[in-house]
Amino acid sequence: MDSIFGVTYNGGVIIAADQTNARSILIYQNNLDKISELSSHSMMGCAGPNADFVNFTQYIQKSLQLYEFSNDGLKLSTKAQANFCRGELAKALRKGPYQVNVLLGGYDAKKDGEVGDGSLYLMDYLGSMQKVNFGVQGYASNFCLSIFDREWKEGLNEAQALEIVDHCIGELAKRFLIAQPNFLIKVVDKDGVRVHKFGSDPEDN
């Protein structure tokens, strides 16, 4: 029931996720943060059962940290991080699969202070992966992919990309049977990962 979508623009990536944590007919919480920060310049939105999502993202986070410490502070590129994730999903598939569908977005700096690139990777729980300009996980794909298809183009700026995201959220509110009142939007660009907007504060316990 999770709706996760992401879009790249010139110089970064935006990932938005609903904040509902529910099972069957019961809503556990309304302010869950489904986009976890993997490193200073990458984040991963996951759709799937809470247990698998938490287990998987924390494992990936710590593994990436370990890589940094073991290799003298070297950070992995977004492409490398995505491939590592995909590898872990594939390895676990025949043992104890993680039932998570992932959208991994990150920013890679260019040399000489040029504006770097944002990149987005779509992965499913079976370990298939594709680099995409925009992607949607969950039922939301039925509603939002067509919006992205129509409105996304090369060279968008952050404001334009956010407009498309808002358009998608509006569409879901109008046409999706399951009410998802709160969405959390995170942006990653040259300054790192930051929360752009949330419907309900994830820190509020």
| Residues near another protein, by CB under 8 A | 58-59, 62-63, 65-66, 69-70, 72-73
**Would you list the DSSP string of 1-31?**
---EEEEEETTEEEEEEE--EEETTEEEES-
Q: Indicate the DSSP class of residue 203.
A: T
Min CB(40)–another protein separation in Å: 13
Q: What is the CA radius of gyration of the chain?
A: 16
Min CB(176)–another protein separation in Å: 34
Residues in the chain: 205
Nearer to another protein, 4 or 64 (CB): 64
Nearer to another protein, 62 or 194 (CB): 62
Min CB(188)–another protein separation in Å: 21
Nearer to another protein, 14 or 193 (CB): 193
The answer to whether the beta carbons of residues 33 and 203 sit under 8 Å apart is: no
Nearer to another protein, 46 or 187 (CB): 46
Nearer to another protein, 71 or 128 (CB): 71
Min CB(72)–another protein separation in Å: 7
Give whole-number Cα distances, 170 to 21, 57, 60, 145, 190, in Å.
20, 28, 32, 14, 28
Q: Which residues of 49-81 are buried (b: 16+ CB within 10 A; e: fewer)?
A: ebebbeebbeebeeebeebeeeeeeebbebeeb
What is the end-to-end Cα distance of the chain in Å, rounded? 23
Min CB(69)–another protein separation in Å: 5
Which of helix, strand or coil describes residue 108?
strand
